[in-house]
Structure 1
Amino acid sequence: MTTDVLSEVLSAIRLTGSVFFDVEAASPWVAEAPPSAAIAQAVMPGAQHAIEYHVVVSGSCWISLIGGEPFEPVQLREGDIAVIPHGEPHAVSSAPAMRAEPDIEAHRRPADESCLPFKMMTGSDAARDARLLCGFFACDVRPFNPLVGSLPRLLRIGRSSSATADALLGQIITLASEEARETHAGAQGFLNKLSELLFIEAIRCHMQTLDAQDTGWLGGLRDPLVGRAIALMHAAPARAWTLEALAAEAGASRSGLAGRFSQLIGYPPMQYLTRWRMQLAARHLAERGAKVSAVAQLVGYESEAAFSRAFKKFSGQSPSDWRSA
């Protein structure tokens, strides 16, 4: 149930991945990334939001988030993955707390994508002691993305979550490492799909670390009651749900479901349903030839006018303006 909902959300927010840099480094070395908002259009044209990630293929390094709330540097070892969900500026280096000047131009996506990933050598003239694959995930954050907001500032996944996770992550990293070194036909497309798998597995590993007290959308998915309610709404988003009907099918009282849902997700079930409907509507509106009246019915509105009011209230744009944009 949880996996299906996660898959639906990843599809609705149009997750795409890209491997951008294949870095070989020799200590001492440091590379600093600017905020993803400053480079999102350069690295992933058309993306609403870009999420940077780093995979340590060999050796080790440190990652530090820069600015905002204080954040202690984190060491990354071979096989570790670091994801920066909210696009904060950060530095990756051979030792903690090193800084460098970000190179905006280095992040510009080339017209000929066959040259990706960029091969980079950095650091001293000594023997290379670390190799990283670095890239971006692009996704929509408007009008509603429940996933990104539920992630921590830094998502670090080590190959120690479980034997199954270790094996799968190891296979993905090995495949990506080997493909990045070669120039096979279709290599970039292959790497892009591998990076998307990497993100999904990182989210699944992160979910395994959550406990019953963790709030947020992922915490809600893991909760038996809230997870059932979310799955029911996702299975039939156009249904004329009421809190009573949802609670009955989820196997709880109205007050029990409303209280637990608000505690974990942060707002009531019917508000969640409206937000999810708006995200589905935004995706349908982006399709060629989409009609506002048809989209309204697809997401559970009998009246086009009522749907248009709800969509504009939530997104700040009318459905027709969103479609044009």
Structure 2
Amino acid sequence: MATDTLSDVLKTVRLTGAAYFDIAAQEPWSVHSPARDLILPKILPGADHLIAYHVVTAGRCFASLDGGEPVSLEAGEVVMFTNADPHVMSSDAGMRADPPTADMIDIAEAGQLPFHINLMNGGTVSAKLVCGYLACDSRPFNPLLEALPPMLKAGDPRKNDAGWLGQFIHFAVAEVADKRAGSESVLTKLSELMFIDVVRRYIETLPQQDAGWLAGLRDPAVGKALGLIHARLSFNWTIEGLARQCGASRTVLAERFMLFVGIPPMHYLAKWRMQVASEMLNRGNANMATIAAEIGYESEAAFSRAFKKMMGVPPSAWRLGARANASHPR
């Protein structure tokens, strides 16, 4: 059930690749990624959220959020910045405050992606990286993004990783070397799968006493409640009915749901309905009555009132805004 819930969230928030580049670097080197609001319009105009990632395919380096502690990385490891916060990749931990030898703004404006960044000066390669940005919807409600830490590290350089992360590195290196037609599309899809694999690995490492939406997926009562809400969104759920289906009392479910998810079950249901509705408004021409029925509202008017109350604009205005954003060229 938890896996289905995670898949449902990933599907509805429309995870898509936005950009890709590779780096070959010689010490000393550093690459700076600026604030999301600066880089996002250069990478994918119209998107509302970016996730940055860097996969080390050879050598070693350091990653750090601006003002944060550096984290060491070796070949076979990936670091992901889930909010695309300002960060630095560098050959040495002490370089994080130095002027960078490359900046993502300059790279984004340099030309057609995928893009190769050569930070060599006639010496030996000290690190190779495959990097990129993933775009996704964070509005109106993305419980996955809200549950992730700002920086994630995954992979194990000490062994041959047979999981998807290892396969991503293998295929990414091949795409970089071959430079075949369609490389950007291939790497985009690979990046999406890599993100899912990193999230699953993160879930597996969460302490049993941890709270949050991801930890809630593992809780018997909360995980089942989340699964039921996502699987039967249009059902006329009540807290009593949901608790009965989960084999728990109303009080226990309400308390555990609040502990893990941070909001009551019925509030979560309302927010997720609006997320699904906004995604339907973004991607298609379904009429308002169809959308209302799909997410559990008896009438178009009731749906429109609920949508405007939560989103601040009526569904028709939201759809017009989505189409306007989609019309902007990359």
Fold match, TM over 0.5?
Answer: yes
In structure 1, the partner of 2:4 is 4
Identify which range, 216-225 or 274-283, moves more after superposition: 216-225
| C-alpha RMSD of matched pairs (Å) | 1.9
Gaps of 5+ in 2: 322-330
Report the number of matched residues.
317
**1:212, 1:223 within 8 Å by CA — same for their partners in 2?**
no
AA paired with 2:38? A
SS of structure 2 residue aligned to 1:286: helix
Query: What is the aligned partner in structure 1 of residue 277 from structure 2?
Result: 281
Quick one: which amino acid aligns to residue 12 of structure 2?
A
Report the secondary structure of 1:238's partner residue: coil
2:15 counterpart residue number: 15
Paired-residue identity, %: 45
Partner of 2:105: 104
- With structure 1 as the length reference, what TM-score do the two structures score? 0.93
Cα shift at 1:166: 4.4
Give the one of 82, 92, 97 matched to 1:95: 92
Contact 2:30 2:91 in 1 (8 A): yes
1:204 to 200, 205, 215: 200
C-alpha distance 19-180 of structure 1, shift in aligned 2 (>3 A): farther
Q: Deviations over 1:202-233 (max 9, x none)?
A: 00000000122212111111212111100000
1:307 aligns with 2:307: no
Deviation at 1:250, TM superposition (A): 0.8
Distance 1:272 1:195 in 2: 29
In 1, Cα distance between the equivalents of 2:38 and 2:19?
18
Q: Please give the residue correspondences for 1:139-154 in structure 2 after superposition, counting only pairs within 5 Å.
A: 139-154=136-151
The answer to whether the aligner puts 1:74 opposite 2:81 as a matched pair is no
2: CA distance, partners of 1:323 / 1:198: 30
- Displacement of 1:92: 0.4
- Give the corresponding residue for 1:49: 49
Q: Where do 1:1-325 residues align within 5 Å?
A: 1-67=1-67, 71-98=68-95, 99-101=98-100, 102-108=103-109, 110=111, 115-122=112-119, 124-159=121-156, 166-325=162-321
Structure 1 gaps of 5+ residues are none
1:7 partner letter: S
Q: Distance in 1 between matches of 2:182 and 2:211?
A: 41
Query: Whole-Å Cα distance in 1 between the matches of residues 117 and 291 of structure 2?
Result: 46
Per-residue CA deviation, residues 247-281 of structure 1 (Å, 9 max, x unaligned), is 01111100000000000110111111111100000
2: CA distance between counterparts of 1:2 and 1:283?
21
Calculate the TM-score normalised by the size of structure 2.
0.91
Give SS of 1:175's match: helix
Q: Cα gap change, 1:204/1:103 in structure 2, threshold over 3 Å: closer, same or farther?
A: closer
Following the alignment from structure 1 to structure 2, what is the Cα–Cα distance between the partners of residues 103 and 250?
Answer: 48
